Amino acid sequence: MNLIFLGAPGSGKGTQAEFVSEKMNILPVSTGNILRDAVKNQTEAGLAAKKFMDAGDLVPDEVVIGILKDRIAQPDAKNGFILDGFPRTVEQAKALEEMGVKIDLVVEIDVPDERICGRMGGRRVCDKCGASYHIEYKPTKVESKCDSCDGNAIQRADDKPETVLDRLKVYHEKTAPLRDFYAKLGKLKTVEGQIEIADTKRLTFEAIGIQ
Ligand code: ADP
Ligand code: ZN
């Protein structure tokens, strides 16, 4: 099964993708996490991506498409994957089709911009494994320490309020058109993001048809 999670930055799509990946035992693929690793390790792709990410812009399609293609060609992606943060442009969606990737379902997590701005400040991410947290809605067990590895849960540089607004704008301009793209293919299911993560989880599982 191949799934796509679609949603604005801070919509909680990464958190839901983690739940579904665990439940269905399919590989989560977050292009944001892969890119942050690439930046940290100063790879060629990382060096190309950094300035776009810091500004809240999209990394150029050719860079991200290359990264995604390499990742899903790995043996651990054989039984399916959940794409979190890809595609983000219609070009990227077309590239997926050209790769011959069959998408079963696209789950959109819909959250109003006002609510996103309000909660972005509390968001944290593990600097080692990429696991996501929120100081209020999904705190780590030990303050600032990742629950799943020995990494630290830190605030991302691009979660500053100014950058968040830029990222929301980019989302509405470039990524939101993907709703139509996948709705026309009959593959889109929309979940209204709830205040409580557990409530969104229930609705997400319902949309996918799992329990
Ligand atoms: P969020 O969903 O919170 O915005 P991500 O971790 O998915 O965060 O992405 C962080 C940044 O990485 C984006 O703002 C963008 O610069 C870059 N990025 C991630 N995925 C893509 C993609 N598919 N295409 C272009 N840029 C991407
Ligand atoms: Zn971790």
pLDDT for residue 107? 98
Give the largest Cα separation in the chain, rounded. 45
For range 187-211, the mean pLDDT: 95
Question: What sign results for the dihedral spanned by CA atoms 208, 92, 72, 155?
Answer: negative
Report whether residue 28 contacts ligand 1, using a CB cutoff of 6 Å: no
> 79 φ, ψ to 5°?
-90, 10
Question: Ligand 2 center to residue 3 CA distance, Å?
Answer: 23
Contact 29, 129 (CB under 8 A): no
Strand 105-110 with 153-154, pairing? unpaired
Question: Ligand 2 center to residue 145 CA distance, Å?
Answer: 8
Side chain identity, residue 154: I
pLDDT for residue 104? 96
Report whether residue 83 contacts ligand 1, using a CB cutoff of 6 Å: no
DSSP-based helix, strand, coil % in the chain, nearest 5: 50, 20, 35
Kindly list the protein residues that place their beta carbon closer than 5 angstroms to ligand 2, a single-atom ion.
126, 128-129, 131, 146, 148-149, 151
pLDDT for residue 187? 97
Report whether residue 9 contacts ligand 1, using a CB cutoff of 6 Å: yes
pTM: 0.91
Check pLDDT > 90 for residue 119: no
Check pLDDT > 90 for residue 86: yes
Ligand positioned closest to the Cα atom of 153: 2
Q: How confident is the model at residue 77 (pLDDT cuts 50, 70, 90)?
A: very high
Report whether residue 32 contacts ligand 1, using a CB cutoff of 6 Å: yes
The per-residue pLDDT of the chain, averaged, comes to: 94
Side chain identity, residue 116: I
Ligand positioned closest to the Cα atom of 60: 1
C-alpha span between 21 and 27 (Å, rounded): 6
User: 11-25, 101-115, 156-170: which range is least confident on average?
Assistant: 156-170
Q: How confident is the model at residue 162 (pLDDT cuts 50, 70, 90)?
A: confident
Nearest residue CA, atom 10 of ligand 1?
32
pLDDT for residue 38? 94
Check pLDDT > 90 for residue 161: no
Report whether residue 167 contacts ligand 1, using a CB cutoff of 6 Å: yes
From 30, 54, 59, the mutation candidate for ligand 1 (largest count of ligand atoms within 8 A of CB) is: 59
Ligand positioned closest to the Cα atom of 116: 1
C-alpha span between 172 and 203 (Å, rounded): 23
Q: How confident is the model at residue 123 (pLDDT cuts 50, 70, 90)?
A: very high
Nearest residue CA, atom 9 of ligand 1?
32
Digit-coded pLDDT (tens) for 36-61: 999 999 999 999 999 999 999 999 99
pLDDT for residue 157? 85
Digit-coded pLDDT (tens) for 90-102: 999 999 999 999 9
Q: pLDDT exceeding 90 applies to what percent of the chain?
A: 91
